[in-house]
Structure formats: structure tokens, C-alpha cells
Amino acid sequence: MVKEGQKAPAFALPDESGFDVALSDFAGKRIVLYFYPRDMTPGCTIEACSFRDYHAKFKERGAVILGVSTDGQRSHAKFKEAHGLPFALLSDKSASVCRKYGVWKKKKFMGKEYMGIERTTFVIDEAGKISKIFKRVQPLGHWKEILALL
């Protein structure tokens, strides 16, 4: 997993509309890069809607929000539309970016093991360095931790 103080790994992923979004597109800006397991699931919806509800406050502090999961563009588009999300959702179908950031983990559910995203948020500063990593995020109220940091 990447560490705080390191340069954030570069990436380019398609958003919900199919347009490539690269980390370098936001050079000189603060970025809240959050990895979440699945569109339309309870925890992921709480987290995304919190970022939506406080989007203006993040924007006031000069921060860009980007969500990443392994769901496809169509799923992201439905999720974004259903909840009025004002930020890009990026599709990492191959989990290559998830692996770069160290969030692709072995998980267990009902006795079964599988690989999936461990809910994690990275705050990237204007110089492109990771200033803070929030691991195993609890969706409810997570936005407050990030906003306090900015």
C-alpha cells in the first residue's frame, strides 16, 4: 500500500460517461480520492450521498472528489443519476489502480473469501503527494474527518 508523504500513483480511468480522467488532470488541486466496494449498496450510497450533500464545502476548500470502484460505466451512470452525485465516478474494471493504491484485498463474507475493495480514502495535496490515508472507512460521518483535515 502507498504511504502518506509519497507521490500519489498516476492513473487514467474512464468515468461514468466513458471519458478518461487522469490524476494529472487535477495538478495543483487537492483531491479526495475514495475507493468504495459497489454502486447502489447501503454503505457506498451513504458515503457517496454524504460527499454530495457537502460537496460545496469541499469545493470551497479547493478539493475535488473522485470515487473509484470496479463497477462498470453503466453502473456508475445509474448510481450517479439516482443520487444526483456532482463528482466523477471512475471505473477500474481490472482493479489495476486499486492494486496500485493497495486497496484490493482478500475479504470474507458469509464464510466465502473473495477479492474486493477495502473502503479507503486518500487525500492528495496540491503537489500530488498523499497527505492522509483513511483505511477501513466507516461511511457514516466520514466526510467530517476529511473536511476537518482540509
Active-site residue identified among 8, 13, 23, 44: 44
Strand ranges (DSSP E) for 20-141?
A: 20-22, 30-35, 63-69, 88-91, 104-109, 112-117, 120-124, 130-134
CA distance 142 to 121: 9
Is there a catalytic annotation at residue 98? no
Helix H or strand E encompassing 3: none
Active site residues: 44
